[in-house]
């Protein structure tokens, strides 16, 4: 005895103007806008404090580079004197 076919609802027509590319584009723009908005938080005094901390960090790096350079230069051996031929 054959079974009767199941009645499926007709699918809604897909709007051709809404494509996957547009959906992805809107999603990327939304993510970028969220990222920019989260980076824009803060105040002017907080920014100044951060700038001063960055200046101090740069100063420390310069001092470390100078120390390392001095250590390398001071560790260079002197040239050996030329040997004199023995008679």
Over residues 29-61, the pLDDT tens digits come to 999 998 888 777 777 888 888 888 887 776 666
pTM over 0.85: no
Whether residue 74 is predicted with pLDDT greater than 80 in this model: the reply is: no
d(CA 39, CA 75): 47
Whether residue 15 is predicted with pLDDT greater than 90 in this model: the reply is: no
In a domain, 61, yes or no: yes
Q: Considering its fold, how many domains does the chain have in total?
A: 1
Domain that holds residue 48: 44-73
| Per-residue buried b or exposed e for 8-43, using 16+ beta carbons within 10 Å of the residue's own CB | eeeeeeeeeeeeeeeeeeeeeeeeeeeeeeeeeeee
In a domain, 11, yes or no: no
In a domain, 66, yes or no: yes
């Amino acid at each position: 005895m054959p079974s009767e076919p199941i009645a499926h609802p007709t699918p809604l027509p897909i709007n051709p103007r809404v494509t996957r590319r547009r959906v992805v584009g809107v999603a990327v723009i939304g993510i970028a806008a969220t990222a920019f908005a989260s980076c824009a938080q803060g105040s002017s005094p907080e920014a100044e404090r951060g700038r001063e901390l960055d200046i101090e960090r740069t100063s420390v790096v310069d001092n470390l580079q100078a120390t390392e350079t001095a250590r390398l230069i001071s560790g260079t051996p002197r040239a050996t004197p030329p040997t004199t031929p023995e008679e």
